[in-house]
Amino acid sequence: TKFGSNPFEYIVTGCEMENSKPAPDIFLKAAELMNCDIKKCLVIEDSFNGIRAAHASGATACMIIDILPPTEELMEIIDVIKEDLFEVKRMIENSFLTEKQLASYFDHTNLKPFATEEDFKKLCQEADSLGCSMVAINSYPVKMCKEILKDSKVHVGAAISFPLGQTTIETKVQETLNAIKDGADEIDYVVNIGKVKEHNYDYIKEEMQQIVKACKDNNIIVKVIFENCYLTEDEKIKLCHIAKEVKPDFIKTSTGFGTGGATLEDVRLMVREVDGAVKVKAAGGIRDLKTTLEFIEAGAQRIGTSSTVKIIEEFKEKK
């Protein structure tokens, strides 16, 4: 889209075909940005061969020209291509990121149990100065942070039932409503992880529905924290499918207080399973620019981190 083209017309491949043509400028520029060998950028006329080529590992680009019957095999291959394509598109976009655009991905975070009022003031001042989307805090200091940021575009986000998720639905809803009353613009709540491990998905769905309703009734953004480090792949997929049905604004990888944080594999899985119905937030262990950009390329639309200032400084030095 940066070059006036529809990115869904393009796929990535490293195979050379007999019926190939030299690549147009869009491919050459994309390859240059991705440090690819631009001599391998091709346009392949036979779309099925092109799709097969794209399914192989390799470099650069190919255009699908004709339309084929949607066979099961073809659709499976296209699903793989779509995932790769989204990532390549975001990789190209990252090459054009401005400091302001990068900052808007961040939920600037301080969820430490020993955080003081001075820490929260500093957090808010940094987030406002940088242009972050949100400050992520526990529910107690919401009122104070809202006052500090009353003239700012930065949202105040409250973490609910954090970090364990082991409170009743009624308690979570009430904490959510209290945070909204205090001025929260966004809510990040932790699912009842024990109920996920029991595979009691009716409970998880009811919990999600009630908290999402409490937020939507007040025009508040809501994020659902999975805490993926404790979950199997099947459990993550099931939560994604529930979220796709209930439609919170975001699903989120981690609290940052579990045995592991965000992983690229988890973000890719979550993005794939919700299929655009819900956005994905990556959080936990994201401390440098390289990792941040990798998560954005994988499909994360928010990044939760306490290292925002460091990452922005690294970005400015790189530019």
pLDDT at res. 90: 74
151 tagged catalytic: no
208-249 pLDDT per residue, tens: 999 999 999 999 999 999 999 999 999 999 999 999 999 999
CA–CA separation, 238 and 82 (whole Å): 22
Rg of the chain on CA atoms, in Å: 22
User: Is 188 tagged catalytic?
Assistant: yes
Confidence of residue 165 (pLDDT cuts 50, 70, 90): very high
Residue 97 banded pLDDT, cuts 50, 70, 90: confident
Catalytic hit among 40, 223, 252, 279 = 252
CA–CA distances in Å: residue 84 to residues 57, 131, 301: 11, 30, 17
Tell me, what's the pLDDT at 70? Answer: 60
Per-residue pLDDT reduced to its tens digit, 55-87: 433 334 444 444 455 667 666 666 666 666 666
pLDDT of residue 318: 84
Handedness of CA 169, 171, 176, 180 (dihedral sign): positive
Confidence bin at 293 (pLDDT 50/70/90): very high
**Residue 100 is a catalytic residue:** no
What pLDDT shows up at residue 25?
Answer: 53
Q: Which of 107, 182, 185, 188 is catalytic?
A: 188
CB 15 within 8 A of CB 46: no
- Domains of the chain in start order, with CATH, are 7-94 (no CATH), 99-318 (3.20.20.70)
- What pLDDT digit, counting tens, does each position of 13-34 carry? 334 444 444 444 555 555 566 5
Rounded Cα distance between 109 and 129, Å, is: 14
